[in-house]
Amino acid sequence: MKPSVYDYVIVGSGIAGLYMALLAKEKGSVLIITKGSIEDCNTRHAQGGIAAAIGKNDNPDLHYKDTMAAGAGLNDPEAVRVLVEEGPQRIADLIDFGVPFDTADGQIALTKEAAHSVSRILHAGGDATGEHVEVTLSRRVRYSSSINVLEYCLATEVIVEKGKVKGVKTLDLRAGSVQEFECRWLVLATGGAGKLFKYTTNSEVATADGIVLAYKAGAEVTDMEFFQFHPTALRLPGVAPFLISEAVRGEGGVLRNVEGYRFMSDYTPKADLAPRDVVARSIVYEMRKTGSDRVFLDVTHLPAHVITTRFPHIYKFCMDHGLDITKGLISVAPAAHYIMGGIRTNVWGETSIKGLFAAGETACTGVHGANRLASNSLLETIVFGHRIVQRTQEKDNLNYKARREDDIRKSLATGKQTSKCTPLSLLALQSLMWEKVGIVRSGESLAEAGKMLAAWDAALPPTTDRPSYELNNLVLAAKLMTEAALAREESRGAHFRTDYPRTSSSWKRHIVFQKDATTPS
C-alpha cells in the first residue's frame, strides 16, 4: 500500500498529469492516481500535433488572433495571451524531456491546420504526436524513484474541509479496497467526456470523471454546452471511429459527398479549412441532402509518398481495413472529440476550492471559448500545468475569481423516477446524447433529453465498481451539458440550435454550475 500523505496528488496520467508530476517531483512528494494503466489516456490518440508560435513567419500575436477568432467571442483574453506567449518555452521543455518532434533541414517541421493563419503545428512520427509525447513522459515517470504511481485506482471523491482540499478518496479496482490520500494540493487531470456520445474519437477512459468530482465537491463548472465534434472520423461498418487528423486537410485533402462533388465551398469561403464546428455541421447537412451516413476525404491527388510519410498511422490503419488511401477515398463522418467546458479555473489552474487545481481537457481555462482551435489542446496542458506547479510554490496560492460579472449561475435540476423511462444503459445514454444533444440541437430535442436524463438520474444504481461510477459520472455530465445547451438561446461556436440559429451579443457570457448554488436562474 502506498503512503497516504503527499504534497501533490495528481489524478490522471495523460500529458497534463505526467508533465506536472515531472515538474512537481522537484518541489515535493508526488502521487499519480489513474483508473487504468499509466498509458490509458486520450493523449496517445492525438494525431495532429501541438500548435506553438515558433516559426520564422509566426509570432504570439498571430497565434492569439487565430485562437480568439476560433473561440467565437467567449475566450478569456488573459488566458489566451498566457497560452501563446508561454507556449514556445513549454515546447522547449518537451524537447528537453526527449519528445522527438519531426524535423526538416535541421529545423522542427511545421504544418498548417484549419483556422491557423500560418504553419505552426509541431508533430512527431508524422501523425503519432500524442503517442510519442505520452511514451516519452510516461517512461520518465516510471523510471523516476520520486514519483509514486497508483494504477487501476479510481478517484471517487474529493475531500474538502472548511473550503480547502484535504485529499481524495479512491477505490482500488483490483482489490476492491477503499483508501484515502491526504495532500496539500490536488490536481484533477482526468481528460474529457467523449464517451457521452455514440460516436467518439476518445478512448474508453473519457467519462467526465474530473468534472463530476469537482462539481460534487462544490467547485464551479462552466461552458458545458460547448462540445467539439471532429469533422472527419473514419466511418466503416464494424469499425470504431478512428480519427482522421485535420492535418490531412491541412496538407491538401478535400471533402467530397457520395456523388463525388466537392461541397465545402458551398457552405463557407474557407472551404475545407474552415473551423471544425463549421466543417462538422456542413458535413451533417451534406449527408442529409444526399441521404448518406458519410462523406469522403480525398487525398488521391497528393503524391503517395507524402501520405505514407506524413500520415503513417492513418495510412496503416486504413490499409489494415482494406483501404489504400493513396488510391481510394476515405469514408468519414463527424464524431465527438473534445469538450471546451469543464472545471472552471483561473490562469493559474486554481479552482474555486483552495488547494484544488485542474488541468488539461477536464479544465476550462477560458482558452478555447466556444470552439477550440486545432492543436491548442496539448499546448494548453503543458502551459497551465507548468503554471499550476509554479503557483503551489507561492505563499498565497489562491487568487481565484470569476472572469465575468454577468455569468449565469445555475444549480442542476432534480428529477423523478418514472415507469415510462427507457431503461438506462451506457448505449442508451450515448444514443440519446448523439441524437438530442449532438452537432445540431433544438429546444425541443434538448428538453426531451433533459427529461430522460432527470429520470435516469433519479434511478441510478449504487456505485460499486468502475462501470457503475463511470455511468453515474456520465449521466451527471450529460445533465450539465443538456441544461447549459437548453439555457443558451443562441448559436455560437460548437453550440448550434436550429431554433436560435444566430449568435446574440446578449449571450456573450458564461453559464456556471455550482452544487447548491444560492442564485440559480
Provide CB contacts within 8 A for 202, sequence distance 6+. Answer: 42, 45, 191, 192, 193, 194, 195, 336, 337
Q: Give the domains, in start order, of the chain with CATH numbers.
A: 234-335 (3.90.700.10), 409-513 (1.20.58.100)
Q: Which residues pair with 8 in a beta bridge?
A: 30, 185
Cα–Cα distance for residue pair 513/129, rounded to 1 Å: 34
Would you give per-residue pLDDT tens digits along the chain (521 residues)? 567 999 999 999 999 999 999 999 999 999 999 999 887 765 555 566 899 999 999 999 999 999 999 999 999 999 999 999 999 999 999 999 999 999 988 899 998 887 899 999 999 988 888 888 989 999 999 999 999 999 999 999 999 999 899 999 999 999 999 999 999 999 999 999 999 999 999 989 999 999 999 999 999 999 999 999 999 999 998 898 999 988 899 889 999 999 999 999 999 999 998 888 899 999 999 999 999 999 999 999 999 999 999 899 999 999 999 999 999 999 999 999 999 999 999 999 999 999 999 999 999 999 999 999 989 999 999 999 999 999 999 876 666 665 566 899 998 877 666 657 788 999 999 999 999 999 999 999 999 999 999 999 988 989 999 999 999 999 999 999 999 999 999 999 999 999 999 999 999 999 999 997 654 43
Confidence (pLDDT) at 397: 60
Catalytic residues: 276
Closest by CA position to 88, among listed 74, 78, 101, 104: 101
Confidence (pLDDT) at 453: 95
Q: Tell me which DSSP letter residue 495 carries.
A: B
Cell of 328: 481510394
Cα–Cα distance for residue pair 238/224, rounded to 1 Å: 31
Cα–Cα distance for residue pair 190/179, rounded to 1 Å: 19
Provide CB contacts within 8 A for 38, sequence distance 6+. Answer: 13, 18, 32, 138, 141, 142, 149, 151
Confidence (pLDDT) at 402: 53
